[in-house]
Structure 1
């Protein structure tokens, strides 16, 4: 079985260099693919629209020493008084925003160094 493995000594140095370049390229491509997967999350200071039916607004976050500060500003209609909610998220934590009139809610969650905003169904409705 060991005899079936190719020996590096028997390969010309050009082929070894090509194999190493191919491995480096494959590793770089893999890392770039993982980075692209995180691109769907929210970036610091990037605003994300929030729509909870009659209540809407925007959310963003900043990276602070004690965690990610998620700032959500909501208002009912154009004439409603705006309300700001600030949540500090550690890895694995989330905050859910909902209204009693709507079955859908907005979940803002932190997974590692990424923040995600998604629509969810509330359990109470």
Structure 2
């Protein structure tokens, strides 16, 4: 007779969380590796690597009813908890994820139907 009940995962909670975190980073950096690091525009669902000093991740955007939904997922190293920044950009708007360090800032901006990702000067934000 076959038992149709699911077998509970007996791994410690911390090990499961680390496994989920590792899968998240693999997916995020897999998406980022598919896209070339360019200074020109980003295409919808195209990942762009972000490096803010000790914090790194990936940004992408989707188009929903003429709105550009920008998503950035960042974490400090592989052990840091990931955070997600979501912003809806209208033409001419920008979002600037940054760190306290001078070199740790990027600007994600929308100009018309283009989204640009570039390094920004944290002191001016």
TM-score of the superposed pair, with normalisation by structure 1: 0.65
Give the superposed CA RMSD.
1.9
Match of 2:88 in 1: 88
CA 103–40 in structure 1, closer or farther in 2 if over 3 Å, else same: closer
* Local SS of the residue matching 1:81: coil
Whole-angstrom distance in 1 between the partners of 2:88 and 2:113: 13
Dislocated runs of 4+, deviation >3 Å: none
Which structure has greater helix proportion? 1
Report how far residue 66 of structure 1 moved. Answer: 5.6
- When structure 1 is superposed on structure 2, of 71-80 and 98-107 the one drifting more is 98-107
Deviations 1:60-110 (A, max 9, x none): 000012610000000001100000110000000000010012334100000
Are residues 1:115 and 2:115 paired?
yes
Structure 2 runs not aligned, ≥5 long: 1-38
Distance 1:63 1:124, change over 3 A: closer
1:108 touches 1:118 (CA, 8 Å); kept in 2?
Answer: yes
Query: Which SS does the other structure have where 2:105 is aligned?
Result: strand
TM-score normalized by the length of structure 2? 0.65
Aligned partners of 1:102 and 1:54: how far apart in 2? 12
* Aligned-residue offset at 1:124: 6.0
Cα 1:43–1:124 change in 2 (3 A) is: closer
Structure 1 unmatched ranges of 5 or more: 1-38
